[in-house]
């Protein structure tokens, strides 16, 4: 028996830098193209009746990249927060940010809060953006939050409510582009029963045809959920 209804799809958007190198372009061009593809995927998800999309945009480890690249990624994030939110509202897209926000400057933190508030009123699709995110860091954050409350016993539901991602539904499937076959700390608690799909294409080249192929393959997989 198959469970083909998709509520949430997770995507590890990998390959921007390798795409840029393969096309003799600067790294920032790869990130720009990657953002364009993200906009496309949100629309493809809407067309497929998927209500939630969660993407791995910037990991806690990515802070260790070159100052130039991190600076560009922060510049891109600021551009999105300052210029793209109106478009999201018009397209009925809600945006949420999950991760360690404390590492960002105050203007970015404020921009995230404003974007979340302004897009939460009338929407068809929720885009959850994992930024400054690490799976272990999220689990430690949830654990410390519960310890601070002095709880003596914890259920799975109690723990889930302390995660940065709450109340996002668990991903039904996770797609990783660029040929890497690992999840790299992406939502370890939430993806225990997610179906995993790995594709060789770089993220900027990810197409609607590839997205549709993966969705159709998901629909015929048998999901046992440990049973």
pLDDT digits (tens, 9 = 90+) for 4-26: 689 999 999 999 999 999 999 99
Give binding residues as ranges: 14-19, 31, 59-61, 63, 65, 176, 182-184, 195
Give binding residues for Mg(2+) as ranges: 14, 195
What is this structure's pTM? 0.95
Structure tokens at 85: 């939110």
| Cα distance between residue 122 and residue 116, in whole Å | 12
pLDDT value of position 1? 36
Residue of 3, 62, 100, 124 with catalytic role: 62
Please determine, for residue 184, whether its predicted confidence score (pLDDT) is greater than 90: yes
What does the mean pLDDT of the chain come to? 95
**DSSP letter string, the chain:** ------SEEEEE---HHHHHHHTT--HHHHHHHHHHHHHHHHHHHHHTT--EEEEEEEEGGGGGS-HHHHHHHHHHHHHHHHHTHHHHHHTTEEEEEES-GGGS-HHHHHHHHHHHHHHSSS-SEEEEEEEEE-HHHHHHHHHHHHHHTT-S---HHHHHTTSTTTTPPPPSEEEE-TT----TTSSTTTTTT-EEEE-SS-GGG--HHHHHHHHHHHHHS---TT-
The pLDDT tens digits of the residues spanning 133-173 come to 999 999 999 999 999 999 999 999 999 999 999 999 999 99
Residue 14 annotated in active site:
yes
pLDDT value of position 223? 74
Structure tokens at 205: 């080249």
Structure tokens at 111: 């921009």
Residue 106 annotated in active site:
no
Q: Which homologous superfamily is 8-220 in?
A: Decaprenyl diphosphate synthase-like (3.40.1180.10)
Name the phi and psi angles at 129, rounded to 5.
Answer: -110, 115
Please determine, for residue 3, whether its predicted confidence score (pLDDT) is greater than 90: no
Residue of 14, 52, 170, 172 with catalytic role: 14
pLDDT value of position 226? 65
Q: Span 64-87, mean pLDDT?
A: 96
Q: Span 123-136, mean pLDDT?
A: 98
Give binding residues for substrate as ranges: 15-19, 31, 59-61, 63, 65, 176, 182-184
| Cα distance between residue 212 and residue 216, in whole Å | 6
Please determine, for residue 185, whether its predicted confidence score (pLDDT) is greater than 70: yes
């Amino acid at each position: 028996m198959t469970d083909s209804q998709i509520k949430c799809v997770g995507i590890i958007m990998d390959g921007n830098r390798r795409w840029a190198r393969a096309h003799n372009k600067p790294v920032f061009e790869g990130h720009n193209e990657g953002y364009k593809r993200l906009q496309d995927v949100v629309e493809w998800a809407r067309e497929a009746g998927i209500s939630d999309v969660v993407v791995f945009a910037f990991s806690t480890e990515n802070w260790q990249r070159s100052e130039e690249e991190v600076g560009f990624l922060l510049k891109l994030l600021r551009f999105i927060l300052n210029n793209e939110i109106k478009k999201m509202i018009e397209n009925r897209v809600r945006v949420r940010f999950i991760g360690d926000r404390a590492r960002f400057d105050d203007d970015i933190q404020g921009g995230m809060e404003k974007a979340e508030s302004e897009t939460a009123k009338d929407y068809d699709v929720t885009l959850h953006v994992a930024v400054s995110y690490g799976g272990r860091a999220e689990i430690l954050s949830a654990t410390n939050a519960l310890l601070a409350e002095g709880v003596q016993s914890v259920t799975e539901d109690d723990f889930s409510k302390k995660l940065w991602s709450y109340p996002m539904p668990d991903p039904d499937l996770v797609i990783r582009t660029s040929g890497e076959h690992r999840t790299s700390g992406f939502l370890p608690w939430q993806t225990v029963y997610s179906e995993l799909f790995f594709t060789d294409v770089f993220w900027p080249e990810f197409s609607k045809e590839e997205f549709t192929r993966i969705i159709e393959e998901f629909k015929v997989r048998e999901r046992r959920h440990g049973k």
